[in-house]
Chain A
Amino acid sequence: MSEVDIDLIIGGPQGGGIDSAAQIIIRSFSIAGYEAYGIREYHSNIKGRHSYFHVRIKDEEVRSLRYPVDILACLDSETPFVHMYDVTKNTIVLFDEDVKGTKLNQVLTLEPETKKHIEEKLQSEGYELTVSGSLEYMKKRGAILVPVSFRSLVNEALGPSKPPARYANTLGASISMALMGLDSEFTMSGIASVFGKKKEVLEDNEKIVKVAYEYISKNNGLKIKKLGPKTVRERYILTGNEAIAIGKVIGGLKLQTYYPITPAADESFFLEGHDYFDELSGGENETLRKSGVVIVQAEDEISAIAMAISGAMTGARTATGTSGPGFSLMAEAIGYAGINEVPVVITLYQRGGPSTGLPTRNSQADLSFAVNAGHGDFPKIVLSSGDVQEGIEDAVKAFNFAEMFQLPVIHILDKNFANSFYVVDGIDYDRMKIKRWKLPEKQEGEFERFKFTEDGISPMGFFGKNIMWLTGDEHNEIGHITEDPETRDAMMVKRMGKLEIAKKMIPLEDQAILFGDKDADVTIVSWGSNKGIILDVMDKLKQEGKKVNFLYIRMMVPFPTDFVTNILKNSKMIIDVENNYTGQLAMLIKQNCAININKYLLKYNGRHPTEDEVYDGIKKLIDGKSNRVVMTNGA
């Protein structure tokens, strides 16, 4: 059990520095030696609408977030309204005294539907429709209110000329960390690592930290914990987007194409900032050489996937990244990569659909589409990752599998993964080995790119090395068009046969993992970024004496049919946990294993699922009160 276990939400307007606040908090705690994990929630809007950062701090690995929170830091007048349900007994609510009188109706950034729910709640409980009213409501739930005058504290730190709104983020973050008992030296280091490059900005922010800590020490007794010293070590702080970018570069990425879309574009944006660098020369003595990655912002996603495919046929490890709307546009080309046996990687970050849907919110509703994307029968690999460590390694494996089996690989992730902050130690390069496979030899004359071979995989060819033809039409071994029925049959068998080869060659733990005892009363099945939450919930249930295990599926195509069937055929109760409406993983299991799952814990409001609601939901399903529970947490 972790001695320290604190959940914090810090909320304010989009564009008001919530991102920096998130960075400050995560960095300060990880510098101090704690484990931290957090997610950003935000609207599809640049400035004004409500955004917040939910983070949990522990002294052991953090795998999930929890409601109610221990600290709610409100940087504006909207936050106390929208998060008033997220508090409980002893939650510390820090708020700006100066906006106490703000009426609900004056919060113009609130969507009318949200306003209506809040209005009904406050009215029915007899509270006034002001920030004060919402604070009183939280107080009744047991929260401890900590008033702070943002204006006077910023004034005290920097004088009257500086706008308080600009420093609300650092102030809110620092006060929260002071309340959590984090030594100010770590907060100062966190601040320095965020603002280090801009001297003046850094100095101002340091003054804010000082004032914040003084303010809290004057209000004795508020500290929820005095954090003890930890082993301080250097670590990396990465978002999911960044982790994938890093995995790709380590895995040999040389050409990445993209068209901007949330929540995928941050990956390419990060790469653009790291496109020319030093790397090992690979020679006898470990000298360094300069190298680079070409990042192309294409005119649309069709162009992005087309460039990636042809770049791969020319010999570069290429990838593209997108989310639902862009992936929809790529479908035709993915089939092209399939029939032409092209090793290309497509990183798919799911967000709420259909159509533009919830463009900045979480979802796992593109699984069926990813599995079936493209017309006609052709092989592809669809693999997913559950956390940052897996994400980095899988980015390398995606390239390896693409090259080994000569097919498109869809690496399916989601917004929760993309926008989470993770703290990682470093990289074990032995786990990140690059597998080069059937690379082309320079060859004179006609080359049979699509040759039928003993092992089922044709020799690879690259433009510039071999004279060869590719076509989206059915083709012969040379790559010229043919509609000859026998050749068609043989080509289909060769291409589809690679899925069986892949299934045999890819280690089982890359396909699916069973956590917990084989013998269990309840088996949870799930995938992707739910992994950590379910592991936490499983621990809790085990402590209560429940026999639960967790079948975590990582590879959706080819599907680990035998392994999954063997586990599930004897399960007494199977619960499918997913962030979609239809239970798409359960459908895939049914399709592959002919096993019906009839208990579902689902979420599709776009907000990150949390430990408490997964726990409650599973209990409800175990108790038999319901067969379908929908999770609704999150503002």
Chain B
Amino acid sequence: MEHNYRTDLWVDWCPGCGDFGILSAIQQSLAEIDKNPENYVMVSGIGCSAKTPHYVNVSGIHTLHGRGIPFATGIKLANPNLTVILDGGDGDILSIGAGHFVAAGRRNVDMTIIIHNNGVYGLTKGQASPTMPRGLKTKGLQRPNIYDSLNPVAVALSVGYTFVARAFAFDIKNTKDILVKAIKHKGTAVVDLLQPCPTYNDINTKEWYEKRIYYLDKDPTWDPIVRKADEEEVEKKYLQGIQKSLEWEEKIPLGIFYQNEFVPSYEERINNNIPTYFTDPPATSKICDGNGLPLARMDKIFSDRLIRK
């Protein structure tokens, strides 16, 4: 029987919330990839977006505000055979968890980070998130926003993410296609997911986006993928991605900005040091015999601390 990727819980987002589109796209992408459902783990931080794992019928861990990345990392490092997908809010990932976002780019653990980019802190009633431009006054704000916004795609590229893409929550088919690629990518994939929040962000609405978005892959000359492991190629694709990321306001590109699978994943780097890492990962490695006696022994491992004449 086909696995049902929906749970039967009532989904508690506001009507018209972009998160509904993202949720469908996630459920469809998992079905399309069709792994053993036990091998998926959905992770989230705290926020409206963070409810997502409860609505997907695979293991889910709803963690702490901003800490989704390290929680996801711990799962993957303990068991590299699992497929780990993180749903984070833009406040979650780019404000309180920004340090983790930077560090994760440098690690390149094989996992997927979906940023629910709604420009606001939804669950705390509409304060400006790091992606809201300065001067905007959405309906949840008392005064126009006096922070400048950051560009998630450019930040992701600059800290080393090896797959960076953008999608729009209400184009479920395209979002699903991008998520499938992101999940299959070896290394950390980041997807900046434009997510209308009809309740608090009355500026970046569904209609606002629909007027501006266009698809990078409609242009047959657009090739974001690093095709060979040479510096020139990497630099070319990287700069092209950065340049594209600067487009906003009039025209908003969707699709893959950059992908490079030549960078070793963090797990591969571990396996270089510990050659049994992939074959006998931490989560399933045996630690004692049938009588509970430990397998790791002082004289075998720490003989350098043994003092003899």
Contacts and interface: CB of A to CB of B under 8 A. Distances in A.
A464 B82 contact: yes
Residue picked from B73, B81, B270, most chain A C-beta under 10 Å: B73
Interface in B35-49: 37-39, 41, 43, 46
A458 interface: no
Contact of B309 (A232, A302, A426, A480): A232
Contacts of B300: 277-280, 288
Contact of B59 (A281, A396, A434, A463): A463
Contacts of A479: 60
A291 B285 contact: yes
A336 interface: yes
Interface in A292-335: 292-294, 296, 298-300, 302-304, 306-318, 332-333
B62 A234 contact: no
A603 to B, nearest CB: 30
B277 A307 contact: no
B62 A464 contact: no
A278 B300 CA distance: 6
Interface residues of A, number: 85
Contacts of B297: 250, 279-280, 427, 429
Contact of B305 (A186, A238, A312): A238
Contact of B289 (A280, A298, A316, A396): A280
A434 to B, nearest CB: 4
Given A232-B309, A315-B284, A307 B298 contact: no
A471 interface: yes
A459 B61 CA distance: 17
A186 B307 CA distance: 12
Given A279-B297, A310-B78, A317-B287, A299 B100 contact: yes
B92 to A, nearest CB: 13
A279 B79 contact: no
Nearest to B286: A282
Given A250-B296, A282-B288, A315-B283, A290 B275 contact: yes
A494 to B, nearest CB: 20
A469 B62 contact: yes
Contacts of A280: 289, 295-297, 300
A294 B103 contact: no
B284 to A, nearest CB: 6
B301 A278 contact: yes
Interface in B59-111: 59-64, 67, 69-75, 77-79, 81-82, 99-100, 102-103
B67 A306 contact: yes
Contacts of A435: 292
Given A27-B307, A291-B295, A298 B70 contact: yes
Given A336-B63, A467-B38, A277 B289 contact: no
A279 B301 contact: yes
Contact of A464 (B39, B61, B73): B39
Contacts of B28: none
Given A276-B273, A465-B38, A470 B298 contact: no
B54 interface: yes
Given A279-B296, A288-B300, A313-B75, A466 B273 contact: no
B54 A332 contact: no
Contacts of B99: 299-300, 303
A255 interface: yes
A311 B78 contact: yes
Contacts of A317: 287
Interface in A435-461: 435-436
Contacts of B57: 467
Contacts of B274: 275-276, 292-294
Contact of B301 (A31, A232, A274, A429): A274
B169 to A, nearest CB: 22
A13 interface: no
B296 A314 contact: no
Given A193-B307, A236-B305, A469-B60, A303 B103 contact: yes
Contact of A314 (B82, B289, B307, B308): B82
B12 to A, nearest CB: 9
Contacts of B299: 426
A471 B62 contact: yes
A121 interface: no
Nearest to B66: A302
B294 A432 contact: yes
B64 A333 contact: yes
A253 B41 CA distance: 23
B307 to A, nearest CB: 5
Given A279-B297, A306-B63, A31 B307 contact: yes
A235 interface: yes
B61 A396 contact: no
B100 A316 contact: no
A433 interface: yes
Most chain-B CB neighbours within 10 Å: which of A27, A275, A292, A312? A292
A464 B295 contact: no
B70 A307 contact: yes
Nearest to B36: A464
Interface residues of B, number: 70
Contacts of A362: none
A314 B54 contact: no
A189 B82 contact: no
Interface in B234-260: none
Nearest to A274: B301
A252 interface: yes
Given A427-B298, A469-B54, A311 B59 contact: no
A470 B77 contact: no
Nearest to A249: B296
A292 B277 contact: yes
A294 B286 contact: no
A395 B51 CA distance: 36
Given A189-B309, A310-B78, A252 B70 contact: no
A308 B74 contact: yes
B24 to A, nearest CB: 19
Interface string B5-20: 0010100000000000
B78 A318 contact: yes
Scoring B46, B60, B277 by chain A CB atoms within 10 A of each residue's CB, the highest score goes to: B60
Given A307-B71, A469-B54, A31 B287 contact: no
B64 A336 contact: yes
A254 B285 contact: yes
Interface string A453-491: 000000000111111111111000001110000000000
Contact of B58 (A242, A249, A467): A467
A434 B74 contact: no
Contacts of B276: 276, 290-292
B135 interface: no
A246 interface: yes
A31 B285 CA distance: 37
A427 to B, nearest CB: 5
B298 A246 contact: yes
A252 B288 CA distance: 8
Contacts of A316: 78-79, 281-283, 285
Given A234-B306, A257-B74, A279-B296, A466 B59 contact: yes
Contact of A311 (B75, B277, B287): B75
B53 interface: yes
Nearest to A442: B38
A510 B99 CA distance: 40
7 contacts: A31-B308, A274-B301, A280-B289, A315-B79, A317-B287, A463-B75, A470-B61
Given A246-B298, A282-B288, 9 more contacts: A246-B302, A255-B78, A294-B274, A306-B64, A316-B282, A433-B291, A434-B293, A463-B82, A470-B61
Enumerate the 9 nearest inter-chain pairs by beta-carbon distance, A residue then B residue, closest first.
Answer: A252-B287, A307-B74, A310-B74, A254-B282, A299-B103, A292-B274, A306-B70, A315-B283, A316-B282
